[in-house]
Copies of this chain bind each other. A is one copy, B any other.
Amino acid sequence: MKVTLKDIARESGYSITTVSHALSGYGDVNENTRQHIIAIAERLGYQPNLAARHLRSKQTKTIGMVIPLTTYYSDPFFMELLSGVGRQAAEYGYDLLLSAQQPGEEELSAYRRIVASSRIDGVVVARVQRDDPRITFLKEARHPFVVFGRSNANDYPYIDVDGRAGIRQIVLHLARLGHRRIAFILSPPQLAFTTLRYEGYCQGLDEAGLSLRDDYVVEGDLTRASGHAAALRLLALPEPPTAIVACNDSMAIGAMLAIQERKLVVGRDVAVAGFDDIPAAANASPPLTTVRQPIYDIGRQALDMLIRVIRNEPVENLHVLLVPELIVRASSGGMI
């Protein structure tokens, strides 16, 4: 049987209250009796029943994350985020509750359920969409949360990588290498970061004195296959681009494959760059020029912020924007 405060009380001769006080440091207890009680607790292998403690104290020392089943788990990205969040949570003595749900309706109801059932003290929301219903819900419920990514509204705590600056850097890098015809493979428009990265593309072109061409902007769905298809479309243009920037690494790798199928050399005939710096980027051939998202650190920082929100501490920096780092490799031709 599980050992409870009651057992220790019986064993030590003190009352439950005193035992509780001695063990949790609440209230004043004679140092001798405290030691005595602690010794007994250890001998019996006492571990507080957390359900009881949570019921009483209204806090669970648990952080939640809802994982859309289909997309995320396979996403190397999400895993790294999870890792950072988990690491930092452990640091604060928090555990991580994962709820795997289908995205969409079911996902939202998972939030509803988890939040209302007082199971967790706060939530980390990832991969935010434009007008994300989860955020609306959490704001209304006034439940502590922090978001990885920005939506159009900014009235909530978030941490994000400056995608605009990242893509801008890439475009300028390519322009510096002499490229005048730079194309862009977009991510799905409903994702919040798409707009920002597109802005970075436009801004980069502008600063480089290049003009925006509609036929150089095509849409993908973040998969390798869609990058492949998009690149084929671009290469079939009467005046094909000499450089292709993709919204993420997977699409960029897909684009490289398409270029190679056309018997062109990546980095010489057509430069390619991505965004994320997933492990596959460095291992691609040629290695992919990209922009690094420090996902692990983002997870840690997101959790830091969340803890502050939970503690109701003044969150002086409710918004954290990290500047991504340009990683130049052979695919952009700068290293050949």
Please report which residues of chain A, range 262-283, place their CB below 8 angstroms from some CB of chain B when the two chains form the complex. Answer: 279-280, 283
- Does B49 lie within 8 Å of A118, measured CB to CB? yes
- Does A118 lie within 8 Å of B50, measured CB to CB? yes
Q: Answer whether residue A325 sits at the interface, using C-beta atoms and an 8 A cutoff.
A: no
Identify 17 residue pairs between A and B in the complex whose beta-carbon atoms are under 8 Å apart, listed by A's number. A2-B116, A49-B117, A51-B51, A51-B55, A51-B60, A69-B87, A73-B79, A74-B83, A76-B76, A79-B79, A90-B100, A96-B97, A96-B98, A96-B99, A97-B98, A280-B280, A283-B283
Please report which residues of chain A, range 97-118, place their CB below 8 angstroms from some CB of chain B when the two chains form the complex. Answer: 97-101, 112-113, 116-118
Q: Answer whether residue A188 sits at the interface, using C-beta atoms and an 8 A cutoff.
A: no
Residues of A within 8 A of B (CB): 2, 45-52, 54-55, 60, 62, 67, 69, 73-74, 76, 79-80, 82-83, 86-87, 89-90, 95-101, 112-113, 116-119, 279-280, 283-285
- Does B45 lie within 8 Å of A69, measured CB to CB? no
- Does A52 lie within 8 Å of B49, measured CB to CB? no
Give the distance in Å from the alpha carbon of A116 to the alpha carbon of B55 in the complex. 17
Which single residue of chain B is at the shortest CB-CB distance from A279? B280
- Does A47 lie within 8 Å of B117, measured CB to CB? yes
Which single residue of chain B is at the shortest CB-CB distance from A283? B280
- Does B87 lie within 8 Å of A50, measured CB to CB? no
- Does A100 lie within 8 Å of B87, measured CB to CB? yes
